[in-house]
Structure 1
Amino acid sequence: MSVLDRYGPEVQRVPADAPIEDIIALLKRDGGVFVKGLVSEADVDKAYDECRARLDSDVEWSGSFFPKETQRAPSLLALSPIYARSQVMNPVYQQVVDHFLTTRSWFWWGTERKESVSKPYLHSCTAMRIGPGGKAQPLHRDDYISHNIHNNIEKWDDERDVNRESAVGLFVAGSKVTKENGGTQFKSSTHVTDPPW
Protein backbone atom coordinates (compact mmCIF):
# COMPACT_ATOMS: atom_id res chain seq x y z
CA MET A 1 0.00 0.00 0.00
CA SER A 2 1.36 3.40 -1.02
CA VAL A 3 1.22 6.43 1.27
CA LEU A 4 -1.06 8.09 -1.29
CA ASP A 5 -3.59 5.23 -1.13
CA ARG A 6 -4.78 6.74 2.17
CA TYR A 7 -5.76 9.98 0.46
CA GLY A 8 -8.27 11.03 -2.18
CA PRO A 9 -7.22 12.64 -5.48
CA GLU A 10 -7.97 16.21 -4.37
CA VAL A 11 -5.49 18.52 -2.61
CA GLN A 12 -5.39 17.35 0.99
CA ARG A 13 -5.73 18.94 4.40
CA VAL A 14 -3.64 17.14 7.00
CA PRO A 15 -2.87 17.87 10.67
CA ALA A 16 0.56 19.21 11.61
CA ASP A 17 1.39 15.87 13.23
CA ALA A 18 0.78 13.89 10.01
CA PRO A 19 3.75 11.71 9.08
CA ILE A 20 6.33 13.76 7.19
CA GLU A 21 6.41 11.02 4.54
CA ASP A 22 2.72 11.72 3.85
CA ILE A 23 3.26 15.47 3.53
CA ILE A 24 6.22 14.98 1.18
CA ALA A 25 4.30 12.43 -0.95
CA LEU A 26 1.34 14.82 -1.24
CA LEU A 27 3.63 17.68 -2.24
CA LYS A 28 5.20 15.50 -4.94
CA ARG A 29 1.76 14.57 -6.27
CA ASP A 30 -0.15 17.85 -5.94
CA GLY A 31 2.46 20.58 -5.51
CA GLY A 32 0.79 21.75 -2.30
CA VAL A 33 -0.84 20.56 0.89
CA PHE A 34 -2.79 22.35 3.61
CA VAL A 35 -1.26 21.63 7.01
CA LYS A 36 -3.73 22.55 9.76
CA GLY A 37 -2.22 23.79 13.00
CA LEU A 38 1.32 24.07 11.63
CA VAL A 39 1.68 27.45 13.35
CA SER A 40 -0.41 28.38 16.38
CA GLU A 41 -2.84 31.28 16.11
CA ALA A 42 -0.99 32.97 18.98
CA ASP A 43 2.30 32.83 17.04
CA VAL A 44 0.61 34.12 13.87
CA ASP A 45 -0.89 37.03 15.85
CA LYS A 46 2.46 37.81 17.53
CA ALA A 47 4.31 37.73 14.18
CA TYR A 48 1.67 40.09 12.77
CA ASP A 49 2.13 42.46 15.72
CA GLU A 50 5.91 42.42 15.14
CA CYS A 51 5.58 43.45 11.47
CA ARG A 52 2.44 45.61 11.61
CA ALA A 53 4.32 48.94 11.66
CA ARG A 54 6.20 47.99 8.48
CA LEU A 55 2.96 46.93 6.78
CA ASP A 56 1.30 50.21 7.82
CA SER A 57 4.17 52.28 6.40
CA ASP A 58 4.45 50.46 3.07
CA VAL A 59 4.22 52.55 -0.08
CA GLU A 60 2.29 51.64 -3.20
CA TRP A 61 4.18 49.29 -5.54
CA SER A 62 5.35 50.90 -8.77
CA GLY A 63 4.21 48.52 -11.49
CA SER A 64 1.63 45.79 -11.81
CA PHE A 65 3.18 42.85 -9.94
CA PHE A 66 1.45 43.82 -6.68
CA PRO A 67 -1.90 45.62 -6.79
CA LYS A 68 -2.00 49.00 -5.03
CA GLU A 69 -4.16 47.42 -2.30
CA THR A 70 -1.29 45.15 -1.21
CA GLN A 71 0.92 46.21 1.68
CA ARG A 72 4.20 44.36 2.19
CA ALA A 73 6.66 43.84 5.00
CA PRO A 74 9.83 42.50 3.35
CA SER A 75 12.79 41.20 5.37
CA LEU A 76 10.32 39.57 7.73
CA LEU A 77 13.12 37.58 9.32
CA ALA A 78 14.62 40.82 10.68
CA LEU A 79 11.24 42.19 11.77
CA SER A 80 9.79 39.20 13.61
CA PRO A 81 11.71 36.82 15.86
CA ILE A 82 8.52 34.79 16.37
CA TYR A 83 8.20 34.37 12.58
CA ALA A 84 11.76 33.04 12.48
CA ARG A 85 11.10 30.55 15.29
CA SER A 86 7.55 29.43 14.49
CA GLN A 87 7.58 29.44 10.69
CA VAL A 88 11.05 29.44 9.12
CA MET A 89 12.44 27.06 11.74
CA ASN A 90 9.23 25.05 12.05
CA PRO A 91 10.33 21.38 12.26
CA VAL A 92 7.82 20.19 9.63
CA TYR A 93 8.80 22.94 7.19
CA GLN A 94 12.49 22.28 7.80
CA GLN A 95 12.05 18.58 6.98
CA VAL A 96 10.17 19.45 3.80
CA VAL A 97 12.77 21.94 2.54
CA ASP A 98 15.59 19.59 3.52
CA HIS A 99 13.99 16.85 1.41
CA PHE A 100 13.33 18.96 -1.68
CA LEU A 101 16.15 21.50 -1.63
CA THR A 102 19.27 19.83 -0.22
CA THR A 103 21.62 19.16 -3.12
CA ARG A 104 24.61 16.85 -3.21
CA SER A 105 27.47 16.76 -5.66
CA TRP A 106 30.95 15.29 -5.83
CA PHE A 107 34.31 16.95 -6.38
CA TRP A 108 37.94 15.92 -6.33
CA TRP A 109 40.38 17.13 -3.69
CA GLY A 110 43.65 15.86 -5.08
CA THR A 111 43.10 12.12 -5.36
CA GLU A 112 40.16 12.07 -2.92
CA ARG A 113 36.57 12.11 -4.13
CA LYS A 114 34.53 14.21 -1.69
CA GLU A 115 30.85 14.95 -1.33
CA SER A 116 29.59 18.52 -1.22
CA VAL A 117 26.23 19.08 0.48
CA SER A 118 24.34 22.32 -0.01
CA LYS A 119 21.51 22.82 2.48
CA PRO A 120 18.49 25.01 1.73
CA TYR A 121 18.73 28.77 2.15
CA LEU A 122 16.05 31.39 2.63
CA HIS A 123 15.55 33.57 -0.43
CA SER A 124 12.37 35.46 0.36
CA CYS A 125 10.29 36.21 3.42
CA THR A 126 7.58 38.81 3.16
CA ALA A 127 4.35 39.43 5.02
CA MET A 128 1.54 40.72 2.82
CA ARG A 129 -1.75 42.33 3.72
CA ILE A 130 -4.20 42.44 0.83
CA GLY A 131 -6.79 45.20 0.89
CA PRO A 132 -10.28 44.98 -0.62
CA GLY A 133 -10.54 45.34 -4.39
CA GLY A 134 -7.02 44.24 -5.26
CA LYS A 135 -6.64 42.52 -8.61
CA ALA A 136 -5.36 38.94 -8.41
CA GLN A 137 -1.90 38.22 -9.75
CA PRO A 138 -1.72 35.90 -12.74
CA LEU A 139 -0.94 32.29 -11.85
CA HIS A 140 2.83 31.85 -11.63
CA ARG A 141 5.52 29.80 -9.92
CA ASP A 142 7.67 31.71 -7.45
CA ASP A 143 10.75 29.74 -8.47
CA TYR A 144 11.05 31.96 -11.55
CA ILE A 145 13.19 34.08 -9.19
CA SER A 146 15.89 31.39 -9.52
CA HIS A 147 15.53 31.25 -13.33
CA ASN A 148 14.38 27.66 -13.01
CA ILE A 149 13.12 26.17 -16.28
CA HIS A 150 10.98 23.05 -15.91
CA ASN A 151 10.25 20.23 -18.29
CA ASN A 152 6.77 18.73 -18.15
CA ILE A 153 6.67 15.44 -16.29
CA GLU A 154 3.80 13.06 -15.70
CA LYS A 155 4.59 12.50 -12.03
CA TRP A 156 7.38 13.04 -9.57
CA ASP A 157 10.36 10.67 -9.65
CA ASP A 158 12.84 11.01 -6.76
CA GLU A 159 15.90 10.01 -8.75
CA ARG A 160 15.18 12.09 -11.85
CA ASP A 161 13.76 15.09 -9.99
CA VAL A 162 16.29 15.31 -7.15
CA ASN A 163 17.34 18.83 -8.23
CA ARG A 164 14.07 19.96 -9.85
CA GLU A 165 12.97 22.40 -7.18
CA SER A 166 14.73 25.63 -6.24
CA ALA A 167 12.12 26.91 -3.79
CA VAL A 168 9.45 25.65 -1.40
CA GLY A 169 6.89 28.24 -0.40
CA LEU A 170 5.22 28.41 2.99
CA PHE A 171 2.05 30.47 3.11
CA VAL A 172 0.58 31.07 6.58
CA ALA A 173 -2.80 32.80 6.71
CA GLY A 174 -3.35 35.58 9.21
CA SER A 175 -7.12 35.43 8.68
CA LYS A 176 -9.74 33.29 6.99
CA VAL A 177 -8.66 33.05 3.35
CA THR A 178 -11.19 33.88 0.66
CA LYS A 179 -11.01 35.04 -2.94
CA GLU A 180 -12.69 38.29 -1.85
CA ASN A 181 -10.01 39.15 0.72
CA GLY A 182 -7.07 38.44 -1.58
CA GLY A 183 -6.20 34.87 -0.64
CA THR A 184 -3.34 33.33 -2.58
CA GLN A 185 -4.54 31.10 -5.38
CA PHE A 186 -3.15 27.60 -5.72
CA LYS A 187 -3.64 25.24 -8.63
CA SER A 188 -2.82 21.58 -8.13
CA SER A 189 -0.15 19.87 -10.25
CA THR A 190 1.28 23.03 -11.81
CA HIS A 191 4.63 22.00 -10.31
CA VAL A 192 4.94 19.25 -12.95
CA THR A 193 3.43 21.02 -15.97
CA ASP A 194 4.17 24.21 -17.86
CA PRO A 195 1.61 26.90 -18.66
CA PRO A 196 -0.87 27.58 -19.94
CA TRP A 197 -2.79 26.38 -16.90
Structure 2
Amino acid sequence: MVQRINREASLQAFINAMEKDGCVIIEGFTTLEALANAQEEVQPYLDASISASGSTVGALNGGTATCTRLIGRSKTAREKFFSDPLYQELAEHFIDIESTTWYGDEPQVNKSHPLISISITMDSRPGCKAQRLHRDDKNHHARHTKTDKYTQGRDMLIGLFVPGCDTFTANGATRIVPGSHLWGDEKPDFGPNGDKGVVDAELKKTDAFIMLGSLYHGAGHYSLPSGSRTVHIFFMCSGVHRQEEIPFLSYSIEEVKTYSQLVRDRLGWKQSEPNLGWVDLMSPEYLLA
Protein backbone atom coordinates (compact mmCIF):
# COMPACT_ATOMS: atom_id res chain seq x y z
CA MET A 1 0.00 0.00 0.00
CA VAL A 2 0.99 3.62 -0.55
CA GLN A 3 0.82 5.82 2.51
CA ARG A 4 -1.78 8.58 2.27
CA ILE A 5 -1.00 11.64 4.39
CA ASN A 6 -2.96 14.90 4.65
CA ARG A 7 -0.90 17.88 3.60
CA GLU A 8 -1.45 19.48 7.02
CA ALA A 9 0.78 16.81 8.58
CA SER A 10 4.37 17.60 9.56
CA LEU A 11 7.17 17.62 7.02
CA GLN A 12 8.81 14.80 8.97
CA ALA A 13 5.77 12.58 8.40
CA PHE A 14 6.27 12.88 4.63
CA ILE A 15 10.02 12.35 4.92
CA ASN A 16 9.47 9.19 6.97
CA ALA A 17 6.99 7.80 4.41
CA MET A 18 9.32 8.47 1.49
CA GLU A 19 12.34 6.98 3.22
CA LYS A 20 10.31 3.82 3.94
CA ASP A 21 8.40 3.43 0.65
CA GLY A 22 10.08 5.76 -1.84
CA CYS A 23 6.79 7.59 -2.38
CA VAL A 24 3.76 9.11 -0.70
CA ILE A 25 0.26 10.37 -1.58
CA ILE A 26 -0.57 13.87 -0.39
CA GLU A 27 -4.25 14.33 0.40
CA GLY A 28 -5.61 17.83 -0.17
CA PHE A 29 -2.59 18.98 -2.17
CA THR A 30 -4.48 21.47 -4.35
CA THR A 31 -7.96 22.81 -5.19
CA LEU A 32 -10.57 22.07 -7.82
CA GLU A 33 -10.27 25.66 -9.05
CA ALA A 34 -6.52 25.32 -9.64
CA LEU A 35 -7.04 22.03 -11.48
CA ALA A 36 -9.67 23.61 -13.73
CA ASN A 37 -7.40 26.56 -14.50
CA ALA A 38 -4.47 24.30 -15.33
CA GLN A 39 -6.62 22.17 -17.61
CA GLU A 40 -7.75 25.25 -19.52
CA GLU A 41 -4.13 26.38 -19.95
CA VAL A 42 -2.77 23.05 -21.23
CA GLN A 43 -5.72 21.89 -23.34
CA PRO A 44 -4.67 23.70 -26.56
CA TYR A 45 -1.25 22.01 -26.38
CA LEU A 46 -2.76 18.59 -25.70
CA ASP A 47 -5.07 19.01 -28.70
CA ALA A 48 -2.17 20.18 -30.86
CA SER A 49 -0.06 17.16 -29.93
CA ILE A 50 -2.84 14.80 -31.03
CA SER A 51 -3.38 16.79 -34.21
CA ALA A 52 0.33 16.70 -35.04
CA SER A 53 0.49 12.94 -34.57
CA GLY A 54 -2.61 12.31 -36.69
CA SER A 55 -4.42 10.29 -34.01
CA THR A 56 -4.24 9.23 -30.38
CA VAL A 57 -2.67 5.98 -31.54
CA GLY A 58 0.26 7.88 -32.97
CA ALA A 59 0.84 10.04 -29.92
CA LEU A 60 3.34 9.33 -27.14
CA ASN A 61 3.14 5.81 -25.72
CA GLY A 62 0.47 4.73 -28.19
CA GLY A 63 -2.26 7.04 -26.91
CA THR A 64 -0.96 9.88 -24.73
CA ALA A 65 -1.33 13.54 -25.63
CA THR A 66 1.33 15.83 -24.16
CA CYS A 67 2.02 19.42 -23.21
CA THR A 68 5.79 19.84 -22.93
CA ARG A 69 7.47 23.00 -21.53
CA LEU A 70 4.73 23.00 -18.90
CA ILE A 71 6.49 25.55 -16.68
CA GLY A 72 6.20 28.17 -19.42
CA ARG A 73 2.78 27.20 -20.74
CA SER A 74 0.72 26.98 -17.56
CA LYS A 75 1.01 29.67 -14.91
CA THR A 76 -1.13 27.56 -12.60
CA ALA A 77 1.08 24.50 -12.95
CA ARG A 78 4.16 26.66 -12.41
CA GLU A 79 3.02 28.72 -9.43
CA LYS A 80 0.46 26.42 -7.72
CA PHE A 81 1.81 22.90 -8.31
CA PHE A 82 5.55 23.07 -8.97
CA SER A 83 6.15 25.94 -6.52
CA ASP A 84 4.17 24.26 -3.74
CA PRO A 85 6.19 24.64 -0.51
CA LEU A 86 5.78 21.01 0.53
CA TYR A 87 7.18 19.66 -2.74
CA GLN A 88 10.01 22.19 -2.60
CA GLU A 89 10.87 21.31 1.00
CA LEU A 90 10.95 17.60 0.21
CA ALA A 91 13.16 18.29 -2.80
CA GLU A 92 15.56 20.30 -0.65
CA HIS A 93 15.69 17.47 1.89
CA PHE A 94 16.23 14.60 -0.52
CA ILE A 95 18.33 15.98 -3.38
CA ASP A 96 20.13 19.08 -2.09
CA ILE A 97 23.89 18.58 -2.10
CA GLU A 98 26.03 20.19 0.61
CA SER A 99 29.79 19.83 0.83
CA THR A 100 32.77 21.44 2.47
CA THR A 101 35.74 22.50 0.37
CA TRP A 102 39.06 23.88 1.55
CA TYR A 103 40.85 27.00 0.39
CA GLY A 104 44.21 26.56 2.05
CA ASP A 105 43.33 26.07 5.71
CA GLU A 106 39.92 27.78 5.49
CA PRO A 107 36.74 25.66 5.05
CA GLN A 108 33.82 26.78 2.86
CA VAL A 109 30.44 25.11 2.99
CA ASN A 110 28.67 25.07 -0.39
CA LYS A 111 25.13 24.00 -1.24
CA SER A 112 23.76 22.96 -4.63
CA HIS A 113 19.99 23.38 -4.84
CA PRO A 114 17.67 21.29 -7.08
CA LEU A 115 16.95 22.15 -10.70
CA ILE A 116 13.77 21.39 -12.59
CA SER A 117 14.55 18.45 -14.84
CA ILE A 118 11.27 18.13 -16.71
CA SER A 119 7.75 19.56 -16.63
CA ILE A 120 5.06 17.95 -18.78
CA THR A 121 1.34 17.21 -18.84
CA MET A 122 0.40 13.74 -20.05
CA ASP A 123 -3.14 12.92 -21.11
CA SER A 124 -3.62 9.14 -21.52
CA ARG A 125 -6.46 8.01 -23.77
CA PRO A 126 -7.96 4.75 -25.09
CA GLY A 127 -5.20 2.72 -26.72
CA CYS A 128 -2.52 3.73 -24.22
CA LYS A 129 -0.60 0.63 -23.16
CA ALA A 130 1.03 0.05 -19.79
CA GLN A 131 4.65 1.06 -19.43
CA ARG A 132 7.27 -1.45 -18.40
CA LEU A 133 8.34 -0.93 -14.80
CA HIS A 134 11.42 1.28 -14.64
CA ARG A 135 13.34 3.87 -12.64
CA ASP A 136 13.32 7.47 -13.88
CA ASP A 137 16.85 8.17 -12.69
CA LYS A 138 18.03 5.92 -15.55
CA ASN A 139 18.54 9.10 -17.60
CA HIS A 140 21.20 10.21 -15.13
CA HIS A 141 22.89 6.78 -15.12
CA ALA A 142 22.25 6.48 -11.39
CA ARG A 143 23.79 3.53 -9.58
CA HIS A 144 22.10 1.89 -6.60
CA THR A 145 23.36 -0.34 -3.79
CA LYS A 146 20.87 -2.58 -2.00
CA THR A 147 20.17 -1.44 1.54
CA ASP A 148 17.69 -1.96 4.36
CA LYS A 149 17.83 1.62 5.56
CA TYR A 150 17.52 4.81 3.54
CA THR A 151 20.35 7.34 3.77
CA GLN A 152 20.12 10.96 2.74
CA GLY A 153 21.95 11.70 -0.51
CA ARG A 154 21.03 8.37 -2.11
CA ASP A 155 18.75 9.99 -4.70
CA MET A 156 19.30 12.61 -7.38
CA LEU A 157 15.70 12.92 -8.66
CA ILE A 158 12.29 13.61 -7.10
CA GLY A 159 8.96 13.71 -8.94
CA LEU A 160 5.55 15.27 -8.39
CA PHE A 161 2.36 13.98 -10.09
CA VAL A 162 -0.78 16.15 -9.91
CA PRO A 163 -3.82 14.43 -11.47
CA GLY A 164 -6.46 16.43 -13.27
CA CYS A 165 -9.03 13.71 -12.54
CA ASP A 166 -9.52 10.70 -10.29
CA THR A 167 -6.99 8.03 -11.29
CA PHE A 168 -7.64 4.32 -10.82
CA THR A 169 -6.69 0.99 -12.37
CA ALA A 170 -9.04 1.17 -15.37
CA ASN A 171 -7.79 4.58 -16.53
CA GLY A 172 -4.14 3.71 -16.09
CA ALA A 173 -3.16 4.80 -12.59
CA THR A 174 0.60 4.68 -12.11
CA ARG A 175 1.83 1.23 -11.07
CA ILE A 176 4.49 1.39 -8.37
CA VAL A 177 6.60 -0.96 -6.26
CA PRO A 178 6.84 0.55 -2.75
CA GLY A 179 10.23 -0.07 -1.19
CA SER A 180 12.00 -0.66 -4.51
CA HIS A 181 13.99 2.54 -4.02
CA LEU A 182 16.12 0.50 -1.59
CA TRP A 183 16.98 -2.16 -4.19
CA GLY A 184 20.31 -2.46 -5.94
CA ASP A 185 20.96 -2.63 -9.66
CA GLU A 186 20.44 -6.38 -10.02
CA LYS A 187 17.63 -7.62 -12.27
CA PRO A 188 14.40 -7.01 -10.30
CA ASP A 189 12.13 -9.93 -9.47
CA PHE A 190 8.56 -8.97 -10.33
CA GLY A 191 7.36 -12.58 -10.33
CA PRO A 192 6.08 -14.76 -13.20
CA ASN A 193 3.20 -12.38 -13.95
CA GLY A 194 5.25 -9.20 -13.64
CA ASP A 195 3.13 -7.86 -10.79
CA LYS A 196 4.90 -9.03 -7.64
CA GLY A 197 4.84 -6.17 -5.13
CA VAL A 198 3.12 -3.85 -7.63
CA VAL A 199 0.27 -1.59 -6.46
CA ASP A 200 -1.70 1.15 -8.20
CA ALA A 201 -1.21 4.71 -6.96
CA GLU A 202 -4.90 5.60 -7.08
CA LEU A 203 -5.50 9.31 -6.61
CA LYS A 204 -8.50 11.52 -6.12
CA LYS A 205 -8.79 14.97 -7.64
CA THR A 206 -6.85 17.44 -5.43
CA ASP A 207 -4.43 14.66 -4.31
CA ALA A 208 -0.83 14.49 -5.47
CA PHE A 209 1.83 11.77 -5.61
CA ILE A 210 5.52 12.32 -4.85
CA MET A 211 8.19 9.72 -5.59
CA LEU A 212 11.95 9.34 -5.64
CA GLY A 213 13.67 8.73 -8.96
CA SER A 214 14.94 5.34 -7.75
CA LEU A 215 11.42 3.90 -7.34
CA TYR A 216 10.28 1.29 -9.87
CA HIS A 217 7.03 2.43 -11.48
CA GLY A 218 5.18 2.67 -14.79
CA ALA A 219 1.96 4.13 -16.15
CA GLY A 220 -0.89 1.63 -16.25
CA HIS A 221 -2.99 0.43 -19.18
CA TYR A 222 -5.89 2.70 -20.15
CA SER A 223 -8.61 0.10 -20.61
CA LEU A 224 -11.70 2.33 -20.81
CA PRO A 225 -13.35 2.88 -24.23
CA SER A 226 -13.51 6.67 -23.85
CA GLY A 227 -12.32 9.62 -21.79
CA SER A 228 -8.77 10.42 -20.72
CA ARG A 229 -6.49 10.67 -17.68
CA THR A 230 -4.61 13.95 -17.31
CA VAL A 231 -1.58 14.21 -15.03
CA HIS A 232 0.74 17.19 -14.57
CA ILE A 233 4.26 15.88 -13.94
CA PHE A 234 7.39 17.57 -12.61
CA PHE A 235 10.80 16.15 -11.78
CA MET A 236 13.67 17.98 -10.12
CA CYS A 237 17.26 16.76 -10.26
CA SER A 238 20.25 17.61 -8.12
CA GLY A 239 21.81 20.90 -9.15
CA VAL A 240 25.00 19.30 -10.48
CA HIS A 241 23.20 17.03 -12.95
CA ARG A 242 22.03 17.71 -16.48
CA GLN A 243 18.31 18.38 -16.85
CA GLU A 244 16.16 16.03 -18.93
CA GLU A 245 14.32 18.92 -20.60
CA ILE A 246 16.47 21.97 -21.38
CA PRO A 247 14.07 24.84 -20.62
CA PHE A 248 16.74 27.53 -20.69
CA LEU A 249 16.71 27.14 -24.49
CA SER A 250 12.95 27.53 -24.81
CA TYR A 251 12.03 30.38 -22.44
CA SER A 252 13.01 33.92 -23.37
CA ILE A 253 14.70 36.22 -20.87
CA GLU A 254 11.69 38.55 -20.99
CA GLU A 255 9.40 35.64 -20.13
CA VAL A 256 11.64 34.40 -17.30
CA LYS A 257 11.61 37.89 -15.78
CA THR A 258 7.89 37.38 -15.04
CA TYR A 259 8.51 34.17 -13.05
CA SER A 260 8.93 34.00 -9.29
CA GLN A 261 12.44 33.90 -7.83
CA LEU A 262 11.95 30.26 -6.86
CA VAL A 263 11.07 29.20 -10.41
CA ARG A 264 13.97 31.21 -11.86
CA ASP A 265 16.40 29.47 -9.51
CA ARG A 266 14.98 26.03 -10.28
CA LEU A 267 15.29 26.66 -14.02
CA GLY A 268 19.01 27.27 -13.57
CA TRP A 269 19.15 31.07 -13.54
CA LYS A 270 21.28 30.91 -10.40
CA GLN A 271 24.65 29.20 -10.27
CA SER A 272 25.26 26.16 -8.09
CA GLU A 273 27.81 26.91 -5.37
CA PRO A 274 30.65 27.37 -5.62
CA ASN A 275 31.22 27.83 -9.37
CA LEU A 276 28.86 25.74 -11.50
CA GLY A 277 26.64 27.31 -14.16
CA TRP A 278 27.98 30.82 -14.58
CA VAL A 279 27.89 33.37 -17.45
CA ASP A 280 30.73 35.89 -17.78
CA LEU A 281 32.07 34.57 -14.46
CA MET A 282 28.85 35.64 -12.73
CA SER A 283 25.68 33.90 -11.61
CA PRO A 284 23.34 34.13 -14.64
CA GLU A 285 20.65 35.93 -12.64
CA TYR A 286 22.48 39.16 -13.47
CA LEU A 287 21.08 38.83 -17.02
CA LEU A 288 17.58 39.29 -15.58
CA ALA A 289 18.43 42.50 -13.74
TM-score (norm 2): 0.60
| Corresponding letter in the other structure for 2:18 | L
CA contact (8 A) 2:45 2:67 kept: yes
Supply the distance in 1 between the matched residues of 2:170 and 2:101 (Cα, whole angstroms). Answer: 52
Give 1:131-142 correspondences, 5 Å limit: 131-142=125-136
Consecutive aligned runs of 4 or more in structure 1 exceeding 4 Å deviation: none
Supply the distance in 1 between the matched residues of 2:166 and 2:37 (Cα, whole angstroms). Answer: 17
Q: Find the counterpart in structure 2 of residue 3 from structure 1.
A: none
Q: Name the SS for the 1:124 alignment partner.
A: strand
Unaligned runs of 5+ residues in structure 2 are 191-289
CA contact (8 A) 2:59 2:65 kept: no
Q: Name the SS for the 2:87 alignment partner.
A: helix
CA contact (8 A) 2:62 2:127 kept: no
| Corresponding letter in the other structure for 1:127 | T
| Corresponding letter in the other structure for 1:152 | K
Q: Find the counterpart in structure 2 of residue 4 from structure 1.
A: none
| Corresponding letter in the other structure for 1:183 | A
Q: Find the counterpart in structure 1 of residue 93 from structure 2.
A: 99
Q: Choose which of 13, 23, 29 in structure 2 pairs with 1:22.
A: 13
Pairs aligned (count): 182
Identity of aligned residues (%): 29
Which structure carries more strand by proportion?
Answer: 2
Q: Find the counterpart in structure 2 of residue 184 from structure 1.
A: 174
Supply the distance in 2 between the matched residues of 1:133 and 1:18 (Cα, whole angstroms). Answer: 38
RMSD of aligned Cα (Å): 1.9
Deviation at 1:164, TM superposition (A): 1.0
Q: Find the counterpart in structure 1 of residue 29 from structure 2.
A: 38
CA contact (8 A) 2:60 2:66 kept: no
Q: Choose which of 39, 43, 57 in structure 2 pairs with 1:52.
A: 43
TM-score (norm 1): 0.86
| Corresponding letter in the other structure for 1:42 | E
Deviation at 1:155, TM superposition (A): 2.2
Q: Choose which of 100, 105, 109 in structure 1 pairs with 2:103.
A: 109
Whether 2:62 is the aligned partner of 1:68: answer yes
CA contact (8 A) 1:103 1:163 kept: yes
